[in-house]
Structure 1
Amino acid sequence: MQNLTRILSVMALASGALLSTPAMAELKIASIRLGEVFQQSPTIKAGGEKLKAEFERKKNELEAEGKRLYDDSEKFKKERDLLSSADRSKREKDLANRNVEFQQKQRQAQEDLAGRERQMFTDAQAKVDVIIQQLVKEKQLDLIVRDPVWATPAVDITDEVVKRLGPGAAAK
């Protein structure tokens, strides 16, 4: 415990000495709340809605197929005793194969959605990075703090990044 106190004291003294130098007085710092950028950006929201709509259709198709499979399975259970052993065996295999195919389609749809979400996030992150680099050059920033616990509005560039991500904004 005593070592921790000593280390913290030394760090406080060192940071005080560094901050008192003239070079540090000119340090330009900004902060950004990336979670808020992704939540507020109209472009990112629109991409998410488009993706949701695309996969909603696939989800509905899978639900309909699952309902048909369930209905056929229930019908088979009712008619099982009335079928010949050859017909019963054939329908059991058919239902089992359809069930396996259905589960594969579900897994594939989930993997496709996850992959597209990752790609959308990666693309959005790349756009945000380009905008941040533009702001670094324009404002001659030395440091950007990501997701700070607290920052004054004067150093917060979140809204500016969201505005530049908006529709019609050129983020080159």
Structure 2
Amino acid sequence: MLSLGAAGAQAQTQVQTQVQTEAHAPLRGSAGRIGFVATERLYAESTLAKAADIRIAAQFSLRDRDNRETLARLKKLSEKFDGDAASLDAPERTRRAREVMELDKEVQRQDQAYRDDLQERKSYERSRIAERAYALIVQIAEQEKIDVVFRDALWSRPGIDITDQILRQLDR
């Protein structure tokens, strides 16, 4: 019985070794070329991204200025209230405290709306760049017979990075 168990264990070990070897072996009959794209570079370095940043800055500059003016008004009102609070009667102190709190809420609401709208606009522009980049990635991968393209990499040989090619095509 022991010899049968040992034979079974040996057979199982041989099968596991064969499966591991086959799992790490390249596909027969194909070179298996790979490539990768550093997507953050596309969003930072492409002419499309830079133009989008300029458009967004222009679109949001007025709102940003208005938000800063409202914040300055709040700071001034708050400082005036803090300086005058000791000499005010209770109803006036309550009224002015409420005025400061309401303006503070307005500043927070404006700031949150601004950040949300800005993030939405940036996401929209990034998605436009991503759509164009995807089409170019497919085109270049087919031209160069690349089997798989990864997004970003911790490390790679310089020859498999196709980011520069994508950037050149995006900038046309």
The one-letter code matched in structure 2 to 1:64 is E
Please give the root-mean-square deviation of Cα atoms over the aligned residues, in Å: 2.7
Which residue is 1:65 aligned to?
70
Structure 1 contact 41–165 (Cα < 8 Å) conserved: yes
Deviation at 1:53, TM superposition (A): 4.4
Range moving further from structure 2, 41-50 or 56-65:
56-65
Give the C-alpha shift of residue 150 in structure 1: 0.8
| AA partner of residue 89 (structure 1) | T
1:24 paired residue number: 30
Unaligned runs of 5+ in 2: 1-14
Q: Corresponding residue for 2:107?
A: 102
Task: Look up the equivalent residue of 1:111 and give its one-letter code.
Answer: D
Superposed CA offset, 1:80-133 (max 9, x none): 344444333322222221111111111111212222222222222111111112
Larger Rg: 2
Under a length normalisation based on structure 1, what TM-score does the superposition of the two structures give?
0.74
- Number of aligned positions between the proteins: 157
Matched, 1:15 2:24: yes
SS class of match (1:24):
coil
CA-CA distance at 1:67 after TM superposition: 1.4
Who is 2:92 aligned against?
Answer: 87
Identical counterparts, % of pairs = 22
9 and 68 in structure 1: CA distance in 2 versus 1, 3 angstrom threshold: farther
The normalised TM-score by structure 2 is 0.74
Counterpart for residue 162 of structure 1 = 167
